[in-house]
Amino acid sequence: MEKNTPAIYTAPWVLPIVGQPIRHGAIAIKDGRIEAVGPAAEIRAAYFGREVVDCRGVLLPALINAHIHLELSHLSDVSRPAAGQPMCSWIADLIRSRNNCELTAQEKEHCRQRILLDQYHAGVILLADIGNEQYSVDSQSFHLPFILHFQEFLAPTKNATDAAALILAGLPDTIAATAHAPYSTTPELFRILKDRARRLGKIFPVHVAESIDEIEFLRFATGSFREFLGGLGAWDGAFSQVENNGSGTVKYLHQLDVLDPMTLCVHCVHVDESEVELLVEKGAHVCLCPGSNRFLRVGMAPIELLLRYGLLPAIGTDSISSNETLDIWGEMRILREEHPDVEPAKILEMATLGGALALHCDGDFGSLAPSRRAIFLEVDDERWAHVDSEEILIDTLTKGGRPRVVSWVDAAGAVISHMAGE
């Protein structure tokens, strides 16, 4: 088929995400965009004469991984913290592994490329990648997934804040910059970074309320994070203005005027109901990282509460140094296990539309609807072609881990198939 030839793709199941699943559905595409989605008979009649491609599997939007650190791709051997150990014991291990790593730049790049290729095979179209090392966009040897890269800054002292501000002043406007976390970045630098992101219209992803120790640190400037910073020689009282403010992370960020629809709060494990209300009021987004939270033993995000307030979270894998695997299908499975009362369809919505909304690209990705980019997934498993119940289909899709075959259907009309584990 010629590139951009108008066509119709039919399938036993089409999952638009923004509408009900369609048994024997079809998608009409034109000029690289989706033109219409509906029952196959209707679409065939409406676009009579168009070339028809019959797919065997389930058609659904590509997945979005809304939080990853590609620069840590070579650090898969950082140990899981023992039960009862604070999160900063893992951070100390990570820093040690990073400093002691003897791999060459080429070997590290190979690890990064291997993870990128795996994301592609899993059907991920877009990654939000956070890192603090120099980054080259030219190194990607294949066209997917798209990467939104954010240069991360952290500075726990006044001197480090001044140094970071100097670097930021010279940073090209094309580079998106963000803060690491409230326990590693002074309030002053948080404000500078958010002001810059706001001026440039950039998304602002930040680690929020990942561990309970973070809340203690923000409330009282005590606990494991205070000790950790002291041990690094990185405590000079630059956080003293937050002492005794008595609030959790979300309220703290609100006090710094960081929350708005461009802010993506990653983790949100330890947030209370009033903070969820605040997130909704400010229009901030949330990204869940259930596999990383399990690995680091920091707890589970209050997903039922988030959903009750109408938030649709995104899903991220975080890095390979804090997760067993980097697989959004696996993250959906963990969410199913840990939150059995959450509708499976809602979890699939998080992995697709949730990510698109959080990264402000829902006009292109996250759903099968008119005007979205005509690049989506065909998940092929012979069992599903004969499933007559949408409940069983979505139950299987969300709890079974990565399907046996995930194929890309792209706007050029070429169907590229990849076996899982290829």
Residues in touch with Zn ion (CB under 5 A): 318
Whole-angstrom distance, CA of residue 310 vs CA of residue 87: 30
In contact, 196 and 169? CB cutoff 8 Å? no
Whole-angstrom distance, CA of residue 176 vs CA of residue 309: 30
Q: Are strands 33-39 and 22-30 parallel, antiparallel or unpaired?
A: antiparallel
- Give how far the C-alpha of residue 102 lies from the chain's centroid of Cα atoms, to the nearest Å: 29
In the bound complex, what is the minimum distance in angstroms from residue 289's beta carbon to Zn ion? 7
In the bound complex, what is the minimum distance in angstroms from residue 69's beta carbon to Zn ion? 6
- The nearer residue to Zn ion, 30 or 80, going by C-beta atoms, is 80
- Could you tell me the two tokens for 2? 């010629």
In the bound complex, what is the minimum distance in angstroms from residue 266's beta carbon to Zn ion? 6
Collapsed DSSP state (helix, strand, coil) of residue 14: strand
- The nearer residue to Zn ion, 55 or 359, going by C-beta atoms, is 359
- Could you tell me the two tokens for 292? 């990383």
- The nearer residue to Zn ion, 31 or 77, going by C-beta atoms, is 77
In the bound complex, what is the minimum distance in angstroms from residue 207's beta carbon to Zn ion? 6
- Could you tell me the two tokens for 290? 């259930």
Q: DSSP assignment, residue 248?
A: -
- The nearer residue to Zn ion, 318 or 380, going by C-beta atoms, is 318
In the bound complex, what is the minimum distance in angstroms from residue 205's beta carbon to Zn ion? 9
Q: State the amino acid at position 70 in one-letter form.
A: L
Cα of first residue to Cα of last residue in the chain, in angstroms, is: 26
Q: Which residues contact 166 (CB under 8 A, 6 or more apart)?
A: none
- The nearer residue to Zn ion, 221 or 301, going by C-beta atoms, is 301
In the bound complex, what is the minimum distance in angstroms from residue 317's beta carbon to Zn ion? 9
In contact, 351 and 328? CB cutoff 8 Å? yes
- The nearer residue to Zn ion, 318 or 331, going by C-beta atoms, is 318
In the bound complex, what is the minimum distance in angstroms from residue 32's beta carbon to Zn ion? 33
Q: Is the peptide bond before 261 cis (omega within 30 degrees of 0)?
A: no
- The nearer residue to Zn ion, 53 or 66, going by C-beta atoms, is 66
- The nearer residue to Zn ion, 58 or 296, going by C-beta atoms, is 296
- The nearer residue to Zn ion, 264 or 311, going by C-beta atoms, is 264
Residue of 416, 379, 374 lying closest to 12 (CA atoms) = 379
In degrees rounded to 5, what are phi and psi of residue 197?
Answer: -60, -40
Collapsed DSSP state (helix, strand, coil) of residue 48: coil
Closest-by-Cβ residue to Zn ion is 318
- Order of all β-strands in the sheet with 204-208: 204-208, 263-267, 285-288, 314-315
In the bound complex, what is the minimum distance in angstroms from residue 235's beta carbon to Zn ion? 23
In the bound complex, what is the minimum distance in angstroms from residue 67's beta carbon to Zn ion? 6
- Could you tell me the two tokens for 291? 């596999």
- Could you tell me the two tokens for 338? 């840990």
- Residues shown for the chain: 422
In contact, 8 and 43? CB cutoff 8 Å? yes
In the bound complex, what is the minimum distance in angstroms from residue 180's beta carbon to Zn ion? 9
- The nearer residue to Zn ion, 87 or 335, going by C-beta atoms, is 87
In the bound complex, what is the minimum distance in angstroms from residue 72's beta carbon to Zn ion? 9
In contact, 323 and 298? CB cutoff 8 Å? no
Residue of 88, 234, 262 lying closest to 154 (CA atoms) = 234
- The nearer residue to Zn ion, 127 or 345, going by C-beta atoms, is 127
